[in-house]
Structure 1
Amino acid sequence: MRTFWLMILSMLLLVTGSFAQEDDPTVTTSFRQAYVFAGPGATYRDVGILNPGVPIKIIERNKVGNWVHVQMYDIDGTVTLDGWIITGFLNYPDELRFSEVPVNPFLPDAETGSVESGALAELYAEPMAGSISPLMRAVLEQGIDAGRDPYLVTKIGDSLIVSDLFLNLMNQTDEILGPYDTIATAIDAFTVVDDSIANDIGMASFSVLDPMWAQDEQCQSGETPLDCELRVHQAGIAFVMFGPNDVRSMDEERYGREITTIVETALAVHVVPVLATFSVHPDDELYWQGINFNRELVRISNEYEVPLINLWAAAQILPEYGLDEDDTHMQNSGFNFLKYDSGHEAWYGMSLYNLLALVTLNDLLTMIEDIEGAS
């Protein structure tokens, strides 16, 4: 038995040595045992288990970068494990940059055929951070013509996003991005409104449309918090998050109407609204109500062609679905700056949400720069 394990150790050392000679930043190891899947998501079938410390090579990634396609090789170069792993389980080499790792354009973020529930399959079918509709280009152009700042971002929501830990960290300069150099340009380009009039604790999808809640001295008589915010700060992009609290006070039909009104109000004044599904714990007594709320968000996003972040789907593999102890708010990493050098996006819901938001902003930035280049 001792001889057998010595042979195994020798083989691992030889493989590790050959990788090290290549000095390839896409060669790494995991720091924990992890399942490997046939595609970039846990709905794909699992194809094996990766043990910590075993060398693997990153072949490609998904659009966001939070899943990577890896291969493990035998001593003679034969592929012995081939599949996808959540990136946050890996040790990140210092020189690893996702801008240099190819993106797989073919595999979707989920294999919906393996999902038994039609409602859940409907949600899984939406990408974590989808492409931006050409219709939003027109909205951005009209906003620029109307004097809006396309590089200014505001927040419309309740306590889920009122914290400075969501998006506002972009206003700082102390981020540590690790391999996620792909989001650096978005961080540099955009500024986030610090005191959105339409984002507060206790706000709801209906109260943001109610003039009685417009208490800010900058608001005009009869103006709703949403109208007031969109007028006062003149942001070109608005991230919208309502749902986990609304689910306890209304049904999905009313929720759909309120979100539709928010979207229509933003589009009417040439603001791009970015919607997001929200994480729901399966043990929550209102779980299926939350699922139906998320389905409404998907429907509205598709109907109006506005950007959608599928946080619900992305967070399914996170511990406790990315939620804090109250099963409502997203869990924070404890760091008060953007930190993506140690896999936080695989453990903390807020880190994941920020990452998906930055990927979406990066897509919008490309569109904005194209508009400015054509003018």
Structure 2
Amino acid sequence: MKTLVVWNCGDGSLPQAQVEVQRLESLRSDQLEVVVAGRSLKWDDLGTFLGTVNASMFHFIGHGTARGELEVNEGIGTVGRPIESVLEVVRAASPELEGVYLSGCYTSATGPEPLEVLAPTGGWVVGTTDSVDDDVAALFAPKFYELLFASSMDLKVAFNTAKAYSKADFGVDSPHTVWLTVSSLPPVDTMVRNVCTVVHGVFNRQAMQASMRQEFSFDELDDAFNGITHALGTGEVLARRTGLPIKPASFPAQWLYDPQINEFVRLASRKVTEARRALSVLKNGANGSDRVFGNVLNFDDTKSPAEWMKQVNKVDHVRNTIIDALNNLVRDSAVPALDPIDPSFSRTEIAAVSKR
């Protein structure tokens, strides 16, 4: 029997959080035990609580942030803590942990790094690449577990089927994504979908989702670009915090030698270099700032405001070129496409500052 531990950190702004809990509790069976830790369980007591149960899976419900934090119960409210820090506690207290589900907004913002925390036992992490409606989250999670256990589906099949149900019910694709350890994928000789999956994973991160106007840090984006380049050359996916390879998410470099994959890798590597050059221009002109403020208010006078806006948009445009090529690569592989990045500044905004 598997044990699913649910920690509800949802506050009053998430009215469906308790509904999600109740739906998960309804899935109890001879295959699955559901143990609920509600809002009364605080961060300091999480490890002790987990030590009393033999968790196979950990399910978090609550707020996530675009910087890769979870809002966890602490004191009389919630406090943001890095996803990896939370999972390190969960992993240490749960020797049999196999997977993690983070039900909240932006909970896959850090990419595959949670897999590193789960290794060597862990095999999967479900999260979201964007904000998610409360009612979508409350329906998606129970459907995923129902398919995984009641229908005895393969995890990836259960996940994809849950996404299909969500789209049928709500009319749009949900932002949910799943990370799997490469070792749990089939051998490379059946590889078309497998290689597409791991290459897709290199780019399925905040650095390829947020417009420059929404980016928190030029330096963080540049580090992410460097990590992408490294992965495309070596198969090693690096952790942001340590710079060391995330073994469960890394893959043999030989997988990149397939002619179609190699063509994409060469194009993507060129475009990442182009994006970094465009970003370097922004860093040099930002008067010591590490991001875009408002209508490029923090940039020097070496360019006009309109020219700076176009330079900001250039980084967005180059990343979209990579996204288009990646989506074309995975089109026939059942790997989900990445959404394009909205330009930071519209033509109307650029025209308006040009008239000043």
More contact order relative to length (CA 8 Å, sep ≥ 6): 1
Higher helix share: 2
Please say which structure displays the higher CA radius of gyration: 1
Q: Is the TM value for this pair above 0.5?
A: no
TM-score, normalised to structure 2's length?
0.31
TM (normalized to structure 1)? 0.30
